[in-house]
Amino acid sequence: MRLPIRAVTPTTESAEVIGWVHEVRDLGGLAFFLIRDRTGIIQVTIPKKKVTAEILDVARNVSKESVVRVQGRVKAIEKAPGGREIVPDELEIVSLAGSPLPLDVAEKVPAEMDTRLDSRFLDARKPRVRAIFFIRSAVTSSATAFLASRGCINITTPKVVAAATEGGTELFPIAYFEKEAFLNQSPQLYKQMMMAAGFEAVFELGPIFRAEEHNTVRHLNEA
């Protein structure tokens, strides 16, 4: 039975998981893979004298960030991530990753910002970066549920406007069908408009754009 990694426990007799190869370690008679999916990381342990020649052949060709399918017995092991490991009865490469990678998803080797942005899809696989998206999702979901439970209406306001909605801040100008337009600084005008229309209580979770110079991590020059 295929399971998300977080659902695999030491009490599970057998499991099948599919994920990215996060790390590879070969200790001679023993090889370890860390397999990652959106729910977590699990260790795959390959005792070379106890698995088939087919599994060993596949294991030799696996590269980091390849997608693999593993089916095998689950064992409790204290030092492994999550306190469990899989000893494979089957190991299949679903998609082989090219090597070398432009950046290290395991973050043992740091990458410059330009490299991270050029390979953002890899950068977003890093557990530390992924955690930001999961935390943000939980916070916005909770905020939406809280406001909706109090009768507030969730709205979406324009982000491209013809003129500034507030004074005192720099604007992000853009070309809009051969006319000058700006990225909106605030949804305040539209929220007031909706209240005047009788909606009484509205909210929006969305970007605003303020072109202000920044010198700290709490800058305002992007949403």
Asked if residue 81 lies in contact with residue 40, where contact means CB atoms within 8 angstroms, the answer is: yes
The H-or-E segment that residue 59 falls in is: helix 53-61
Asked if residue 5 lies in contact with residue 41, where contact means CB atoms within 8 angstroms, the answer is: yes
The rounded distance, in Å, linking the Cα atoms of 211 and 186 is 12
Query: What CATH number does the domain located at 5-95 have?
Result: 2.40.50.140
Per-residue pLDDT, averaged over 108-132, amounts to: 94
Per-residue pLDDT, averaged over 206-221, amounts to: 70
The conformational region for residue 201 under phi > 0 = left, psi -120 to 50 = alpha, else beta, is beta
Q: Which amino acid is at 164?
A: A
pLDDT 10s digits, 38-55: 999 999 999 999 999 999
Whether 223 has a pLDDT exceeding 50, the answer reads: no
Kindly state the tokens that stand for 220.
């305002």
Per-residue pLDDT, averaged over 130-156, amounts to: 96
Domain boundaries, the chain: 5-95, 113-203
